[in-house]
Amino acid sequence: MIEFMGKQLKNPLIASSCIATESVSNVLRLAENGVQGAILKSCADYERGKVSGKREFAVDSTTGYTYASAPFGSEILTLEECLDLLHVLRPQTDILLIPSFTAASLAPDKWIPACKKIEEASADGIQLDFFYMGNLIGTNGLSESIVTLLRELGAALNIPVMPKLNINLPKDFIMPLLVEGGVQYVSLLDSVRSPYLRRENGVYQISERLDADTTSCFGHWQLPLTIGYTYTAAKYGLKVCAGGGVTCADDVQKLLATGAVTVQSATYLTKYLNRGNKLLLI
């Protein structure tokens, strides 16, 4: 048995925050297939911008290639949508339900009231999503702001918070701050796009699509980065929910061997939910 956020899990598989975790029916389907927890699609409680681009998740039916494009304005849940999801899901499943919240700045008052509402709605923990805040490195007092936010959230809540890392937060910079901020859990690694060259009509062009069987939406650069972040996080004593680039059971084993406690997947689960196929990881 694996212990994570106060629950005993039968296997280490968690669904990442993504399309696969933004509706009741998808989350219940993941649970029926043995997934032990769902990090719900990220939500925010500030005004969402006007739709800034098209939202796409495509699986090419002949090659199996996946492609995702998800601009903030057209895809993030509102806080109310997230709370509704929790209210409907909680009585129907005992898997870990971990909503994901993002705010417009690192100021604690932008996070605490919403996170308290999420806690009251029976969440098991809360993922803190910094991805939509852009690149924070270089902003004044960043280290202090992160530590203050984490400490104040820790003091205000009775459930754990789990920051989600992205490559704009370098691993050797962020891990000591998470420890100083008093968090136990970390979620990683958010989307990394990896372009490669492909030839079309005699011209080389940059493509983001890679080998369909061995890559996620975010390409073959993602798994080695995820492994590196996992190794460093585990070295700092953090309980890691590791994912990003997971496409088969062997990838899950690699992350567990590197020190992850649980393993998460977005592209793989979304791909198989979308196709109506049985989820193959389990």
Binding site for ligand FMN (CB under 6 A): 16-19, 41-42, 57, 68, 70, 100, 129, 131, 164, 190-191, 216-218, 222, 243-246, 265-268
The smaller minimum CB distance to ligand FMN, of residues 262 and 267, is found at: 267
Can you give the C-alpha Rg of the chain in angstroms? 18
Nearest distance in Å: CB 166, ligand FMN: 8
The CA distances from residue 142 to 65, 136, 137, 173, in Å, are 38, 7, 7, 11
The smaller minimum CB distance to ligand FMN, of residues 157 and 192, is found at: 192
Nearest distance in Å: CB 28, ligand FMN: 19
The smaller minimum CB distance to ligand FMN, of residues 17 and 26, is found at: 17
Q: Residue 105 is encoded by which pair of tokens?
A: 């700045």
Nearest distance in Å: CB 203, ligand FMN: 28
Instruction: Enumerate the β-bridge partners of residue 101.
Output: 43, 128
3-class SS at 264? strand
Residues 6+ apart with CB under 8 A from 201: none
Contact criterion met (CB below 8 Å) for 176 and 147:
no
Nearest distance in Å: CB 100, ligand FMN: 5
Spatial separation of the C-alpha atoms in residues 199 and 40, rounded to whole Å = 38
**61: exposed, middle or buried (C-beta count within 10 Å: 0-12, 13-18, 19+)?**
exposed
Nearest distance in Å: CB 212, ligand FMN: 13
Count the neighbouring beta carbons within 10 Å of the beta carbon of residue 135.
Answer: 11
The smaller minimum CB distance to ligand FMN, of residues 191 and 232, is found at: 191
